[in-house]
Structure 1
Amino acid sequence: MAHRGGALHPDNIGYENSLRAFEHAVKLGYRYLETDLHATSDGVVIAFHDHRLDRVTDRTGVVAELPWSEVGKAKINGHEPIPRLDELLEQFPETKFNLDIKADNGLLPTAAVLRAADAIDRVCVSSFSQSRVRRIRRELGPALCTGYGDWETALIRFLPFPLPSRGGCLQIPERYGPLRVLTPGLIRRAHAAGKQVHPWTIDDPATMHRLLDAGVDGLITDRTDILRDVLIERGEWH
């Protein structure tokens, strides 16, 4: 998966979550894109990571406190407009998206966009917030693929419980600081329960090879160029 469109590809530096970055990843051959979601004060869902505009655009302010008429004027790296979720779904009709809902006010607007675009079967929705994961499952029903929330992931990793039935995949880092999260045993348990494992954010080729050898089902990367080369080398780039 192209994380934020492949934010650290040399051609994309400074253009994370922009249409330019997503188009670049698709031209490389990527069919799975990862992005973050926020909603403006009037409920427009945008592909954007931070809760503020300041870091990556030429404007300032909290996204949730501004209407789309203002947010839509911001330019990523001073040049690229912030894309809306509905625009991305329309622009890339053959592409699947991993969507990370970053704030509570984005949940219902995201559900509305996915329904209107008939895109529930094209996405996996995740969030660090357990409550947001639970609410989006209730809102969109069992046809929606989701990741696991924070407490579900902790239970799965540290207690010998069966994996909860809701949730299609474990999307976790290999480590939290010194703590190893992703283990061979966890991969085996996930696969035994019919779930996929997608570690993030993997940008080193040696780590990519090692995790693929361990049996993970997908990798989330900022370095779309490196992952593509690794998969070509392994004969796994389709």
Structure 2
Amino acid sequence: MATAHRWRRFAAQLLAVISGALSLAIVIVLAPQTGPAATTFSTLRAPGEVGYVAGHRGDAEGGPENTLPALQAVLESSAEFVETDVQLTADGVPILMHDWTLDRTTDGTGPVWASTWEQVRELDAGSWVSPDFAGIRVPHLTEFLGILQPSGKHAIIELKGSWTAEQVIIVSNLVHDWDLQQRVVFASFDVKTLQAAQQVAPSIQRVIISREVNGDPQALAGTCGAIGIVTSMSFVQRNPEVVDRIHTAGLGVMLYTLNDEGTWSEAITLGVDGIITDTPAELGRWAGPESE
């Protein structure tokens, strides 16, 4: 199978580079083949070559989003990257949570920022998916870093919302405590958040998330020292030439969130550098046994 052969070639190239380099995980942009992005993500892709696979909030096959079972499932799959979302509680504790409120994914209510860590840690974060996951808790960031560290894999940590430099330091200190600064990338939709990260945590690479990439990609990434851009499949489908524009700017591009064979195939044809998916293990199986 042609796709499987491409995957095998990709995996060999990736592992050769990653052994001594930074890596990212999710939808992201790569930089020139001699620059920071190339160091982090290996080489830029050509149309038809399989890029990085990132588990979006974990792997849905393993458990509820942003919980330790879902994240562990990615770490045990063929995917090289795992992506998760971080917010701060009322008392400044970094937890893994996508939504602004606790309502959808826990039995709690109200904004994340209005609850303390002691309150959040008592919530059920699994029953909303299935009774089989009843009792699963919202993870503290350090719990995730604790399973990431021995795995050898890489992570994209999306800082949700707008963060100050002082708030970013809370997360960057934990990343350094686990000696993961070379395997973690900060991501955000918010330029000021990434500028704060550039200021206080320059050793941790950054990628900017933008649903559309209009104008000069290099100018966009340059506002915060980003090595890549994360953008949407729908935008690239309407503007396929944007992949070449981003690559010409010395950046890489990843697409979110692709969950079926049709979009996986299309992303590979477009020459993007990475695929973000809710089912990374399934994508690995689709790509062929050589990817396992």
Provide the TM-score with structure 2 as the length reference.
0.69
For residue 28 of structure 1, report the CA deviation from its aligned partner.
2.5
Supply the AA of the counterpart residue of 1:113: L
Q: Is residue 2:129 matched to residue 1:69?
A: no
**Structure 2 matches for 1:55-66, cutoff 5 A?**
55-66=104-115
- Cross-structure match for 1:88: 144
Worse overlay, 186-195 or 41-50: 186-195
Percent identity of equivalent pairs: 25
**Structure 2 matches for 1:29-48, cutoff 5 A?**
29-48=78-97
Q: Is residue 2:279 matched to residue 1:223?
A: yes
Is the contact made by 2:58 and 2:67 (CA closer than 8 Å) also made in structure 1? Answer: yes
SS of alignment partner, residue 126 of structure 1: strand
- Cross-structure match for 2:40: none
- Cross-structure match for 1:172: 231
**Inter-CA distance 118–87: structure 2 relative to 1 (3 Å threshold):** same
Alpha-carbon displacement from aligned partner over 1:43-65 (angstroms, at most 9, x marks no partner)? 11111111221111122232212
Is the contact made by 2:231 and 2:254 (CA closer than 8 Å) also made in structure 1? Answer: yes
SS of alignment partner, residue 76 of structure 1: coil
SS of alignment partner, residue 79 of structure 2: coil
**Inter-CA distance 149–55: structure 2 relative to 1 (3 Å threshold):** closer
Q: Is residue 2:76 matched to residue 1:27?
A: yes
Provide the TM-score with structure 1 as the length reference.
0.84
- Cross-structure match for 2:205: 145
For residue 181 of structure 1, report the CA deviation from its aligned partner.
6.6
Equivalents in 1 of 2:215, 2:177: separation in Å? 39
For residue 167 of structure 1, report the CA deviation from its aligned partner.
1.1
Equivalents in 1 of 2:169, 2:113: separation in Å? 14
Equivalents in 2 of 1:193, 1:172: separation in Å? 15
Supply the AA of the counterpart residue of 1:194: G
Aligned pair count reads 224
* Gaps in structure 1 of 5+ consecutive residues: none
User: Greater relative contact order: 1 or 2 (C-alpha under 8 angstroms, separation 6 or more)?
Assistant: 2
Alpha-carbon displacement from aligned partner over 1:126-184 (angstroms, at most 9, x marks no partner)? 1111211211111211x32211255xx75xx3224645442111111112xxx557744
Supply the AA of the counterpart residue of 1:148: I
Is the contact made by 1:39 and 1:109 (CA closer than 8 Å) also made in structure 2? Answer: no
Q: Is residue 2:249 matched to residue 1:193?
A: yes
Is the contact made by 1:130 and 1:149 (CA closer than 8 Å) also made in structure 2? Answer: no
- Cross-structure match for 2:25: none
Equivalents in 1 of 2:280, 2:209: separation in Å? 26
